A and B are shown apart, each in its own frame.
Chain A
Amino acid sequence: MLDPSGGCTHAIAIVIGGLPIVVRCSNPAFIQMLAHRYAGFVSSSIDGSIQLEIDIGDAVPIALGTDAALEVHRINGRWIMQRGDFRAEWDPVARCGRVRQGLQPYAIDGVLRIIHSLELAKSGGFLMHSASVVRNGRAFLFGGISGAGKTTIARLAPPDVTILTDEISYVRRNGEGYNAFGTPFAGELGIAGEPIAAPIAALYLLAKGIDNRTCLMAPGLAASRLLRNILFFAQDDDLVKKLFDTACEFISRVPVYELTFRPDAEVWSLIQ
Chain B
Amino acid sequence: MSEKYIKPSRDTAARMLDGEMVVISVRDSTVYSLNLTATAIWNGADGYTSLREIVSQKVVPEFEVDANVAYQDALDLVAELEREGILLVADHPISEEGI
Identify the A interface with B (CB < 8 A): 218-221, 223-224, 227, 237, 240-241, 244-245, 248, 251-252
Contacts and interface: CB of A to CB of B under 8 A. Distances in A.
A237 B11 contact: yes
A237 B20 contact: no
A220 B13 contact: no
A245 B20 CA distance: 15
Contacts of A241: 13, 24, 26
A224 B33 CA distance: 9
B31 interface: yes
A174 B31 CA distance: 26
Q: What is the interface residue range for chain B against chain A?
A: 10 to 19
Contacts of B22: 219-220, 223, 248
Closest 7 CB pairs of A and B: A220-B33, A219-B17, A224-B31, A248-B15, A244-B24, A241-B13, A220-B22
Given A219-B20, A240-B13, A241-B13, 4 more contacts: A219-B17, A220-B32, A227-B31, A245-B13
Contacts of A251: 17
A240 B17 contact: no
B96 interface: no
Nearest to B30: A224
27 contacts: A218-B18, A219-B17, A219-B18, A219-B20, A219-B22, A219-B33, A220-B17, A220-B20, A220-B31, A220-B32, A220-B33, A220-B34, A223-B22, A223-B24, A223-B31, A223-B33, A224-B31, A227-B24, A227-B29, A227-B31, A237-B26, A240-B24, A240-B26, A240-B29, A241-B13, A244-B15, A251-B17
B31 A218 contact: no
Nearest to B32: A220
Contacts of B33: 218-221, 223-224
